[in-house]
Amino acid sequence: MEFGLNQEKWNKLKSVLLCGSKGSSILVSTRDKDVAALMGTCQAHQLSCLSEHECWLLFKHYAFGYDKEQQTELVTIGKEIVKKCGGLPLAAQALGGLMRSRNGEKEWLEIKNSSLWSLPNENSILPALRLSYFHLTPTLKQCFTFCAMFPKDTEIMKEDLIHLWVANGFLSSRVNLEIEDVGNMVWNELCQKSFFQDIKTVNDSGDISFKLHDLVHDLAQSIIGSECLILENTNITDLSRSTHHIGLVSATPSLFGELAFTRVESLRTLFQIGFDTTRFSDCFPTSTRVLRTNSSNLSSLTSLIHLRYLELFDLHDIKTIPDSIYSLRNLEILKLKHFSKLRCLPEHLTCLQNLRHLVIQNCDALSRVFPNIGKLSSLRTLSKYIVRLDIGYSLAELHDLKLGGDLSIRCLENVGSLSEAREANLMDKKELQEICLSWKNSGKNKTPAISPEEVLEVLQPHSNLKILKIHGYDGLWLPSWLQIQSSLVVLRLSHCKNCVRLPSLGRLPSLKKLQLWHMDSVRYVDDEESNDGMEVRSFPSLEELLLGNLPNLEQLLKVETGEIFLRLSKLAIVGCPKLGLPCLPSFKELIVDGCNNELLGSISSFYGLTTLELYRGEGVTSFPKGMLRNLTCLRTLEISDFPKVKALPNEPFNLALEHLGIHHCCELESLPEQMWEGLQSLRTLEIAFCEGLRCLPEGIRHLTSLEVLTVYGCPTVEERCKEGIGEDWYKIEHVPKLSIN
């Protein structure tokens, strides 16, 4: 209510939501009875708590799992603890996670008899959550409460949070463990104890995001108080002497005036979460250790001599980073993200001897890093390195660096000798998860001193590597080490135009995603001819295959024997005019851009398809008979850019079809009547730029589940579908949402 929710505003929003399909509903959950009374269109339903038995089952799952013996005495105590959870699932989950690391009867009794249960005037769930917090180590407590800096429902990146912990000095290194490894252990323990939720892997590199449950966020905020604030325009007055960490959601120019921080004695973190640009004043606290901003006033950095973490983002007019960054001698983490015009990094950046992580993302104009990078002995992350012919920019600079994460090495055409390439020492960098190797201006430079085949052969990475990308490679063949990368999960080869054959990629046991782009000479995805009489499973783990602009690709495998593509789920084909497909009954999604008759003819054998998207069939005059007949699982069908096709297959569609789109088929004259029989699951139908289409079929009248019909760029049909007067209006008037343009 304090943020302006009232009946009038809710009524306006509710009117927008009334366009939902027939039978749909919106469920609103809240802990505030006033909100429920205001928003509800029917009587609010008060959710009951879990039964004691259900609460015990949830607690037991987190406390014992599958690998911990359920001792009788612990079970008895556990059931007593569950009674105090009051049937609240979050409490049962949190306490179960707490008990998992406790094995002794005394430890369980300590929790059962804790006086924290009787704390007065608390939200009923906070005592349970506070109890989980109470038994954390001091380090875990500090790391957890710091999360109150992020607004509720924020998706937090695990690696970023660990870096923030490191920069604030919350973690201590251990023998044989990097400090980031300690941070990973802390995060895992908090996760195991159910302080984090909605954990997901967000990209191929394995980066993890997570959230805090609202009540867990309440707990963190109740403990840390004014020490950690989420700052918006309206609460600048909340700053106090004890404020150490600020999550900046939005700002105005006045927010950082001369008096903004006079009350703050020791600000440690200013982390900009929103995208408002803020100009810092000269009196910005020198005590700051963490700064994330998209302010272009970088000259103010000079005074921040204690800064450990600096993240600059979305500065699209910046071409260089000012030399004032040299004053940040304590800097450990530097992140530069989304600089569209940044051309080079400061030349003497090696003076920042404490630098551990240099992250460069989406800075595509960058043509030079800085010389002698090998002097940064503490460096653990270097996301981009550009080889130059100048002194201090060779691959040898990477030799002693103990790098992890991802590494992109660009301009490999500038490698001067084979010994220099060996000096990169990629084989010993076992913590690297992702490597991108790229050559620039392929074919336009003078003949290199050493061949690209020789360079790539000696750049063999450690077998722990998960992701490998090779771009602009001019060699005739790929390195021998590629087929023994047993941990490789993702492989992308692009613009390797001279490469004539690929190694035995089908034998890579862990490969889940394979992308091949712009490889003019390749005829097979796997060129292996013989299996030595052994039964071999080709691509046993592959789930996603993307083939783009491969003009001479004929088949996926040169010899299609044994079990192939057992786990393939998605196949995307763009610009492969000669490609024919084998029988692949298991995969779910097929996208083809650039269709030919041979490829279309093989579709009927793909029984498991749920999504089929067909684009650009300039040479196709008709679809093969029976093309869709066997696709009994199909739910989405898109047909686009078939300029010579005059008719779709006159046969029943799959009964499970939910979406059908037909676009840019300018000679299509009619939609066959038979194809609509039984389409009782069809929910959306879109027909666009089919100028020759004369009318809609009678069968549309019987599509009782159709919710959305869109027609545009079809002048005759649009005229016939005019509301109330068009000849085809009676066929579509039952559809809830119509868009006829």
Who has greater pLDDT, 352 or 238? 352
Where does the pLDDT of residue 371 fall: very low under 50, low under 70, confident under 90, or very high at 90 and above? Answer: very high
Between the alpha carbon of residue 275 and those of residues 35, 212, 322, 712, the distances in Å are: 30, 22, 22, 37
What's at 168, amino acid-wise?
Answer: N
- pLDDT of residue 531 exceeding 80, the answer is no
What's the pLDDT band for 417 if we cut at 50, 70, 90? Answer: very high
pLDDT at 389 over 80: yes
Percentage of the chain with pLDDT > 70?
A: 91
Which of 235-239, 346-350, 406-410 is predicted least confidently?
Answer: 235-239
Q: Is the pLDDT of residue 421 over 50?
A: yes
Average pLDDT over residues 708-718: 94
Asked if 407 contacts 425 with a C-beta cutoff of 8 angstroms, the reply is no
CA 592 to each of CA 128, 352, 547: distance values in angstroms, whole numbers, following the listed order: 54, 50, 10
- 448 φ/ψ sector (left φ>0, alpha ψ -120 to 50, else beta): beta
Is residue 216 helix, strand or coil? Answer: helix
Helix 179-192 to helix 158-167 angle (10° resolution) is 120
Q: Read off the pTM.
A: 0.85
For the segment 605-615, the average pLDDT, to the nearest whole number, is: 93
pLDDT of residue 2: 45
pLDDT at 278 over 70: no
Beta strands, E only, 298-403: 309-313, 333-337, 357-361, 381-382, 384-386
Find the mean pLDDT for residues 175-190.
Answer: 93
Assign 15 a pLDDT band (cuts: 50, 70, 90): confident
Higher local confidence (pLDDT), 382 or 270: 382
Alpha-carbon span 222 to 271, nearest angstrom: 20
**Contact predicate 191/208, CB 8 Å:** no
| Least confident interval from 231-245, 594-608, 643-657, 711-725 | 231-245
pLDDT at 26: 84
Higher pLDDT, 68 or 215: 215
Per-residue pLDDT, 467: 97
CA-wise closest residue to 59 among 38, 77, 34? 77
CA angle 497, 500, 502 (to 5 degrees): 105
pLDDT at 188 over 90: yes
- The reported pLDDT for the residue numbered 237 is 56
Is 691's pLDDT higher than 70?
yes
Query: If you average pLDDT over residues 593-620, what whole number do you get?
Result: 91
pLDDT at 88: 81
Q: Does residue 447 or residue 601 have the better pLDDT? A: 601
Three-state DSSP state, 493:
strand
| Average pLDDT, integer, range 481-501 | 94
List the one residue out of 514, 521, 510 whose CA is nearest residue 549: 521
The confidence score (pLDDT) of residue 229 equals: 87
Give 309's strand partners: 290, 333
The predicted pLDDT at position 31 comes to 66
What is the per-residue pLDDT for 533? 54
Q: Examine the pLDDT at 582 and tell me if it is beyond 60.
A: yes
Question: Which of 3.30.2450.30, 1.10.3720.10, 3.30.413.10, 1.10.10.10 is the CATH number of 138-225?
Answer: 1.10.10.10
Question: Residue 438 has what pLDDT?
Answer: 97
Average pLDDT, the chain: 88
Binned at pLDDT 50, 70 and 90, residue 253 comes out as: very low
Helix (H, G, I), strand (E, B) or coil at 608: coil
Strands (E), 195-345: 197-201, 208-211, 228-231, 245-248, 269-272, 290-293, 309-313, 333-337
Q: What phi and psi values does residue 60 have, to the nearest 5 degrees? A: -60, -40
Range among 232-246, 373-387, 649-663 rated most confident? 373-387
Task: Label residue 444 by pLDDT band (50, 70, 90).
Answer: low
Comma-separated ranges of CATH 3.80.10.10 domains in the chain: 227-370
Question: For domain 227-370, which CATH number applies: 2.40.40.20, 1.25.40.80, 1.10.3480.10, 3.80.10.10?
Answer: 3.80.10.10
Whether the predicted pLDDT of 659 surpasses 50:
yes
- Written as one letter, the residue type at 181 is D
Q: Which of 421, 423, 429 is nearest to 404 (CA)?
A: 429
For 76-126, the pLDDT digits (tens) are 999 998 988 878 888 888 888 888 888 888 989 988 888 766 666 555 677
Mean of pLDDT values over 411-437: 95
Q: Structure tokens of 571?
A: 């196949």
Is residue 439 within 8 Å of 470, Cβ to Cβ? no
Residue found by looking up tokens 């109150």 in the block: 148
pLDDT of residue 341: 93
State residue 583's pLDDT score: 81
Per-residue pLDDT, averaged over 226-251, amounts to 76
pLDDT of residue 635: 94
Report d(CA 418, CA 441) in Å as an integer: 21
What does the block give as tokens for 26?
């919106």
pLDDT number for residue 1: 43
Confidence band, pLDDT 50/70/90 cuts, at residue 673: confident
pLDDT level of residue 284 (50, 70, 90 thresholds): low
Q: What is the pLDDT of residue 637?
A: 95
Highest-confidence range of 106-120, 246-260, 335-349, 553-567, by mean pLDDT? 335-349
- Nearest residue to 329 via CA among 305, 357, 300, 302: 305
Contacts 24+ apart (CB under 8 A), 215-219: 215/90, 215/123, 215/125, 215/126, 215/129, 216/90, 216/94, 216/129, 217/147, 217/148, 217/152, 218/123, 218/126, 219/126, 219/129, 219/130, 219/133
For the residues 698-717, what does the mean pLDDT come to?
Answer: 92
Residues of the chain with CATH 1.10.10.10: 138-225
pLDDT of 73 above 60: yes
Asked whether the predicted pLDDT for residue 297 surpasses 80, the reply is no
Query: Residue 480: CB partners within 8 Å, gap ≥ 6?
Result: 457, 503
pLDDT at 573: 96
